[in-house]
């Protein structure tokens, strides 16, 4: 990520919206910077004029909140520091019950040291992040290249320990935990096949019941997501249009959540067209594609005074139409669950017949062995 920022900064481009959602990981394990939208819009429309702010609330530098000119590479490095802080500790450096409170903490409060929150965080890494989060841009790293150099030097001295209890898997034919080689522990002549069939049948039935339960049970994860966003929703009532925009974007970035349509609905009629645009885009990213919401967006796309809002509404309609509803997903899950349960029921008599058919064979085999033992032992008794 630092290398990508260095490349952009060398060409006079300030990203302005660095956050976890804009760092993409390729299958090859390479980080790609994405969403240079704010950089392009700022260049074309001068949105960074005095008194204006653009960015994402949890990752905004103090000078970005103030709308001070000019923004610099250090603005992106501050956001990268917030992202790194969240990667290490599991939470952003500044949080609060309302958007305005988070903004004030960015401006005034020092971030808690990572070494005090994460016990195994090296002090050198904690100092690097603290420097990135300095309030004064001049106190941060002068360039992303110098940051990358410090991180590489730190990485070279970190020893990654294997997880506790990890060990090598036994090699074919080699010794196993019980002390016997693999060949000696292969198939045992006792009831392995019988119980294998029984476990397979029980597994199909359990899988079907579990699928049905997941499909029919209430969506508790969605309820938790709605509860987690409650602190952001309070910011939608802020007097600042910029705060309302930030909160709308954050809600959209947080993913699908029940109640987001109701929370953002007042912003669809906001006096600020920028607020309306961000609210519409957030609904397109995170709302359930209901017919009622589609009707509202169609009305906006036809009647809103601002062309950007009309365009955003049309784009949101297309995104929502392409997204499958949860109802269809649940129907599909129920169908899969019923199919698995049906398969288990169909297999039950076959498994039972197989087990019963094996019992006489094992019994007769045991009887033959007893008779053979008696035959061999009789001559010895006579002697």
Cβ(251)–Cβ(263) below 8 Å = yes
Q: What angle do CA 366, 367, 370 make, to 5 degrees?
A: 90
Q: At what angle are helices 192-216 and 326-382 packed, to 10 degrees?
A: 160
Instruction: Give the DSSP H/E element, type plus range, for residue 88.
Output: helix 73-89
CB 55 within 8 A of CB 39: no
**Residue 303: which residues within 8 A CB-CB, separation 6 or more?**
none
**Given the residues 17, 76, 278, 304, the one annotated as active site:** 17
Q: Clarify whether 17 is annotated catalytic.
A: yes
Strands 31-33 and 23-25: antiparallel
CA distance 254 to 234: 15
Distance CA 63, CA 72 (A): 10
Count the helix, strand and coil residues of the chain and give each as a percent rounded to the nearest 5.
65, 0, 30
Give 115-148 as a 3 state SS string.
Answer: HHHCCCCCHHHHHHHHHHCCCCHHHCCCCHHHHH
Kindly list the catalytic residues.
17
């Amino acid at each position: 990520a630092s290398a990508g920022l260095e490349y952009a900064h060398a060409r006079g481009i300030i990203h302005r919206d660095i956050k976890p959602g804009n760092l993409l990981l390729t299958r090859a394990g390479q980080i790609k910077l994405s969403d240079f939208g704010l950089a392009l819009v700022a260049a074309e429309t001068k949105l960074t004029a005095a008194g204006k702010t653009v960015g994402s609330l949890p990752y905004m530098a103090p000078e970005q909140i103030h709308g001070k000119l000019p923004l610099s590479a250090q603005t992106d490095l501050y956001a990268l520091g917030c992202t790194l802080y969240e990667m290490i500790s599991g939470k952003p450096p500044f949080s609060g019950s309302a958007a305005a409170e988070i903004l004030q903490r960015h401006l005034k409060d020092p971030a808690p040291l990572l070494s005090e929150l994460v016990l195994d965080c090296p002090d050198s890494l904690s100092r690097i992040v603290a420097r990135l989060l300095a309030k004064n841009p001049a106190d941060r790293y002068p360039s992303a290249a110098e940051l990358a150099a410090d991180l590489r030097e730190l990485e070279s001295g970190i020893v990654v320990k294997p997880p506790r209890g990890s060990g090598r898997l036994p090699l074919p034919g080699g010794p196993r935990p019980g002390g016997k080689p693999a060949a000696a522990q292969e198939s045992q002549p006792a009831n392995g096949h019988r119980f294998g069939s029984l476990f397979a049948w029980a597994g199909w039935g359990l899988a079907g019941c579990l699928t049905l339960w997941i499909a029919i049970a209430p969506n508790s994860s969605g309820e938790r997501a709605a509860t987690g966003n409650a602190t952001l929703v309070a910011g939608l009532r802020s007097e600042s249009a910029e705060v309302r925009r930030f909160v709308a974007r954050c809600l959209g970035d947080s993913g699908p959540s029940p109640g987001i349509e109701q929370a953002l609905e007042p912003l669809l009629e906001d006096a600020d067209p920028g607020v309306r645009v961000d609210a519409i885009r957030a609904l397109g990213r995170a709302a359930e594609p209901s017919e009622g919401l589609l009707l509202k967006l169609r009305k906006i796309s036809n009647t809103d005074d601002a062309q950007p809002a009309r365009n955003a509404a049309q784009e949101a309609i297309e995104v929502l139409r392409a997204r499958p509803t949860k109802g269809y997903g649940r129907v599909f899950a129920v169908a899969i669950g019923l199919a698995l349960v049906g398969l288990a029921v169909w297999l039950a008599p076959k498994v039972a017949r197989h087990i019963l058919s094996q019992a006489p064979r094992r019994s007769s085999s045991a009887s033959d062995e007893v008779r053979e033992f008696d035959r061999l032992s009789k001559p010895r008794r006579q002697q």
